[in-house]
Chain A
């Protein structure tokens, strides 16, 4: 039982390049989330998926797209990376509903030059 896994662990991109961050969970959770963590700003929600087949914007969605491929997988895509997207990205999942514990992945460190 790996919990929430993320790939890659670290990535360097040039401005304008695109990439997809992968996230998968093996806990049969319905809800999944993408956050970014920047120094002094805590974690901010980018997108979330309350259930398979649905996605919705969070606090900072600009410059990102997501796909809930199936119940297990939730990917985050940067179509044209910008230096402002340099950050640590965390994926999380929860069973469903309010008040539920979120389980986090190990994070992906992204550097955009």
Chain B
């Protein structure tokens, strides 16, 4: 069965510091990985997906199949990055997603 692990419940960093939110997955097939974000009082929304290989709001994530990881990184954290971040694994043709438990990122001055 597929599984997504986000080991940190809370990550607190100073503004301007680098950020790395960890995500590891377990899946025997070809994985599709996503990062979703939920800002305060907003609905859950897609941040980025590995298939696009793009940078959104300064965030990037590289799929490492050898380490089964999809860590989210940003070189310089901003206050507005404070939010709940979920890593998700897509499987099957119906886009079923398995979510990790989430990491709350807190950026302080």
Q: Taking beta carbons and an 8 Å cutoff, which residues of A are in contact with B?
A: 4, 31, 33, 35, 40-45, 48, 50, 56, 58-59, 90, 92, 94, 96-107
Contact = CB atoms under 8 A, between A and B. Distances in A.
A92 B38 CA distance: 14
B27 to A, nearest CB: 13
Contact of A99 (B32, B43, B99, B101): B32
Interface of B: 4, 6, 9, 32, 34, 43-46, 49, 51, 86, 90-102
B101 A90 contact: no
A104 B99 CA distance: 14
B32 A40 contact: no
Contacts of A107: 43
A42 B86 contact: yes
Contact of B44 (A44, A58, A96, A104): A104
B94 A43 contact: no
